[in-house]
Amino acid sequence: MIERTVFNSHFVKKTLPFTYTQSCTYVDVYMKWKQDPYFESIEHIHKSLELKPIIALKNFIAREPSGSIPISAVSKRGLEFDIHINVARFMRQYPSIFEEFTGPLYNLPWFRLTQEAVEIDKEERRVYEECRDDLREGLRRFILMSREKVLHLKIIKGLEWYLGLPSDFLENPEVNLDGSFRFVEMEDGLKGLAVVQNEGEKVLTVLQRNAIKRGVYSGEPNEAIEFPLFPSQGLRLRRKIEDWLIVFQRLPYVSPYEDYSHLDPSTDLAEKRVVGFLHELLSLFVDHTVERKRLLCLKKQFGLPQKVHKAFERHPRMFYLSLKNKTCTAILKEAFRSKSAIPSHPLLNVRKWYIKLMKQSGRILKSRRVNNRSVDQPNVVKDLDPDYEEDCKGGGAMAD
């Protein structure tokens, strides 16, 4: 459950974060990447990319009144579903989710969802219905972190999988959005979605809310909040980096929801704002991870540095980078090492159920291969042994 905390600006001192003395004390933090078996073994993280096109196809089939489609309906739309092989071949790889049958005309292959997939789809729809307010608040926070409190619709669509939004969420604004959202025309002619904040409202990050609960933060300007750190086993920092990190942790916390226009981008204070943004962003995502390349489109809208990916490398006690699946995935360590600190996304369990069902496909396909070999075996023997029929007629060696 996402909490919304409001501070009245009349009771907060007017000292702004950027009035803090900014100094450039850049320390070159570079460490050789070290694999962490714990994060490499979290299944729902590394199966997420495989699951995404499956869910897209599942949704396409579920929207059909008959609950089934001919293969021709999707055979030429692979890129739309992020599928880079023959779509029919792809669907046949997951018989636990997609059931193939012969259609009513011309003996063409058709597909429908298995009963197990239908049941999980119903549960998913229930979660969307019951948690609509949480999904709306997550989207609201995502937009509020942007420079102008407005984002291109294509950026939102590009990250809707991570935010846990259904693919048609923005197509039904009267149901899914409230009065704080409005669609706008942006300078480049593209449509965007803006959020209007209430006067005096201050949105708190998950770090600020947790610090308030621990009694170490009161919401005053220029207060420091130390990022929770979780060292990986066998990963040690050089003394120079350790000393720099101590100073970095004591810097004022700059919320990603606050104005940052007066920050010198070359200072540690600006870097703390970027790290705080990445922490808050990943805390909003379903499994608290993101493909690092997905952040490239956010730099302009969120005021991120050109080499924003370096923040993950410079803070290995906060983030872990996994190189599985031929991509680089950034993982927020706190979400897995201190599970009570960051609320679990309501959609996470649903995706875990889909992954569990998806894995059953491997066993089904293996069973089919074994059965096919068993059926073909007598024919193989018959072809190789010219006396096969005579032995069978006469009882063979058994008759002797």
Q: Map out the domains of the chain with their CATH numbers.
A: 43-113+346-368 (1.10.10), 133-200 (1.10.10), 204-337 (no CATH)
What's the pLDDT score for residue 25? 57
Is 202 in contact with 7 (CB distance < 8 Å)? yes
Rounded distance, CA 399 to CA 19, Å?
Answer: 101
Residue 318 has pLDDT above 90, yes or no: yes
Are 247 and 275 in contact by the 8 Å Cβ rule? The answer is no
Q: What is the pLDDT of residues 338-367, one digit of tens each?
A: 978 999 999 999 999 999 999 999 999 999
Please give the share of the chain, as a percent, with pLDDT higher than 90: 72
- On the question of pLDDT at 388 being above 70, the answer is no
pLDDT tens track for 122-181 = 999 999 999 999 999 999 999 999 999 999 999 999 999 999 999 999 999 999 999 999
Mean pLDDT on 358-378: 82
Report pLDDT for 217.
94
Q: pLDDT above 70 covers what percent of the chain?
A: 85
Neighbours of 159 (CB within 10 A): 21
Residue 248 CB contacts under 8 Å (≥ 6 apart), including other chains: 268, 271, 272
- Give the mean model confidence (pLDDT) for residues 320-332: 95
pLDDT given at position 24: 55
The answer to whether 152 touches 186, Cβ cutoff 8 Å, is: yes
Return d(Cα 240, Cα 148) in angstroms, integer.
38
pLDDT digits (tens, 9 = 90+) for 285-309: 999 999 999 999 999 999 999 999 9
More confident site: 398 or 370:
370
Confidence of residue 397 (pLDDT cuts 50, 70, 90): very low
Number of CB atoms found within 10 A of residue 24's CB: 11
For residue 154, the tally of other CB atoms under 10 A from its CB is 12
